[in-house]
Chains A and B, each alone.
Chain A
Amino acid sequence: MIFLRRQLPLLITLITGLLFAGQYYVPHPASEQMLTSATKWLQIIGGFALILGVTSLFHQHAVKIKRQEAGWGYSLILYAGMLGTIAVGLWANGKESVNGAMTAFGWVYNFMMVPLQGTMFAILAFFIASAAYRSFRARSREAAVLLVAAVIVMMGRVPLGEYLIPLSGDVSSWILNVLNSSVRRAILIGVSLGAVALSLKIIFGVERSYLGGGKE
């Protein structure tokens, strides 16, 4: 049983990992066909993964409603929003528009989901301004460098800044294209090396946390 529960999953990871890493270097038609089929499979499995991700919310809020915990009314609103959207979505065959005409599902998307999600992120504008006022101080030489770079880029990337200080546009462009590029490149190389190392650890069974806990 321990083979089925622990060793077989690790073996599947090892085989698929090595197979698809090696496939990159083997452009044989059979190898390419395998890649086509497997990525198609991955697309379909990706759909199930998405459902797995969102459905964890169901349980959490169902428990809240059942026990009538504090704020259970909001959970009820969440459920109503979800079930209502599913109902109109299925009724509209999952289409927001048919031949250019908006469906009820499209209406929910355009007039509920878009403004809600958009505004949720738009309020961050106020908080970033408040945070800048409260904590963007030149406490050290490094912090002063960060602050000056930020101010130059903020000036150089808007028409008013370029109008008031014509040089700010060129300086911010140089900062982004040269100084920023070099740092981001170093980070990209470092992160990529880390990602490759992690992938190898996964393939060879050193990293196993993705298998989750539970009974062996």
Chain B
Amino acid sequence: MSFAERMLKIDRRIIFLVIGLCTLLPLLYPVGLPIKISSEVRGVYDHIESLPERSVFLLSIDFDPASKPELYPQAIALLRHAFRKNLRVIAMTLWVSGTGMADQLVTQVAKEMGKEYGKDYAFLGWSPGGQAVIINMGQNLYSAFPSDYSGKPTKDLPILDGVRNLKDVTYMVSLGAGRPGVEEWYVFGKDKYKFEMGGGCTGVMAPGLYPLLRSGQINGLIGGLRGAAEYESLIGQKGKAVAGMDAQSATHVAIIVLVIMCNVFYFSLRRTSQAQGQVG
């Protein structure tokens, strides 16, 4: 067996080890390379920045623990920005497994920013049905969520004064890890109820949402951990996403090196077999 053949059949656990180390070492010893801001992320930031105080900001936390590392930092950065701008923040989720996480992050950021429940923010919790919830909220928010997460009637929440349905929402961002997510919020929400909308999503989903971004159906897109790191940089409060960017760099470079190595071995093997074929 030639060297190239042996290298191509290398034990996968060696690759696992390389990836593990490339992730772990930059987390332990960060370098802090600068992060360039993309126009996609700036779209969401600029829109929130332009909103007048007490505008209604709806954040739909449509992900579960499987996507926590990517979308949790996005949610924290967005909430910090919204609270800093003194917006009325209404949070909710369409993903049942994300309820606990959504509750935790809203409570945590609100406490950090000194916000009062019911007056500055509210967490509506989860409701099943996906698209049905969106349409029902568009028709009548109190029908979709008669009570908030803690069981208090939503009609008694001062933060919802003047808010009847999605038409009264000034800006909405869905942080989606799949379905229901950004697309459903557009199709069943914005299409009819005409609120302004931005999106946040996992890296896997991001390329698929670019057509909506280009057509202006969403006015910004925060994609994956990189998007979260950009948003953290924009609000000037660096968190877990920025901290993870060095590790992200290292793993990407590691994978590129692996791909190049694999191709070098593949072509050397192909050349050898072609040469043998000619001799034979």
Contact between chain A and chain B defined by CB under 8 Å: yes
- Seen from chain A, the residues whose Cβ lies within 8 Å of a Cβ on chain B are 24, 32, 35-36, 39-40, 42-47, 49-50, 93, 95-100, 106, 109-110, 113-115, 117-118, 120-122, 125-126, 128-130, 132-134, 136-138, 147, 150-151, 154-155, 157-163, 169, 173, 176-177, 180-181, 184-185, 188
Q: How far is the CB of A121 from chain B (nearest CB, A)?
A: 4
A130/B97 contact (C-beta < 8 A), A42-B132, A118-B66 known: no
Residue of A nearest to B260 (CB): A151
A50 touches B66 (CB 8 A): no
CA A160 – CA B256 in complex, angstroms? 13
Chain B residues in 8 Å Cβ range of A128: 255
How many residues of B sit at the interface, in one of the four size bands?
35 or more
A110 touches B100 (CB 8 A): yes
For A128, A154, A173, the residue with the greatest tally of chain B CB atoms inside 10 Å of its CB is: A154
Query: Majority SS of interface residues in chain A?
Result: helix
A126/B210 contact (C-beta < 8 A), A50-B128, A114-B101 known: no
For A35, A40, A47, A173, the residue with the greatest tally of chain B CB atoms inside 10 Å of its CB is: A40
A39 touches B99 (CB 8 A): no
B252 touches A161 (CB 8 A): yes
Instruction: Identify A129's interface contact among B66, B149, B226, B258, CB under 8 A.
Output: B258
B68 touches A114 (CB 8 A): yes
B129 touches A46 (CB 8 A): yes
A176/B210 contact (C-beta < 8 A), A97-B107, A158-B248, A160-B33 known: yes
Chain A residues in 8 Å Cβ range of B144: 39-40, 43
A43/B245 contact (C-beta < 8 A), A130-B16, A137-B263 known: no
Known: A43-B129, A43-B132, A163-B33. 16 other contacts (CB 8 A): A40-B132, A42-B132, A43-B128, A95-B149, A109-B101, A118-B65, A125-B251, A129-B251, A130-B16, A147-B259, A151-B259, A158-B245, A158-B253, A159-B246, A177-B210, A184-B208
A47 touches B128 (CB 8 A): yes
Task: Tell yes or no: B104 within 8 A of A by CB.
Answer: yes
B255 touches A154 (CB 8 A): yes
Chain B residues in 8 Å Cβ range of A95: 149-150
CA A128 – CA B254 in complex, angstroms? 12
B261 touches A133 (CB 8 A): yes
Chain B residues in 8 Å Cβ range of A154: 252, 255-256
Chain B residues in 8 Å Cβ range of A161: 249, 252-253
CA A95 – CA B111 in complex, angstroms? 19
B135 touches A35 (CB 8 A): yes
Residue of B nearest to A151 (CB): B256
Task: Tell yes or no: B25 within 8 A of A by CB.
Answer: no
Chain A residues in 8 Å Cβ range of B129: 39, 42-47
B15 touches A100 (CB 8 A): no
Task: Tell yes or no: B211 within 8 A of A by CB.
Answer: yes
A114 touches B258 (CB 8 A): no
B15 touches A98 (CB 8 A): no
CA A131 – CA B162 in complex, angstroms? 54
A158 touches B249 (CB 8 A): yes
B127 touches A97 (CB 8 A): no
Q: How far is the CB of A46 from chain B (nearest CB, A)?
A: 3
CA A136 – CA B64 in complex, angstroms? 30
A39/B139 contact (C-beta < 8 A), A158-B252, A173-B38, A177-B210 known: yes
Chain A residues in 8 Å Cβ range of B67: 121
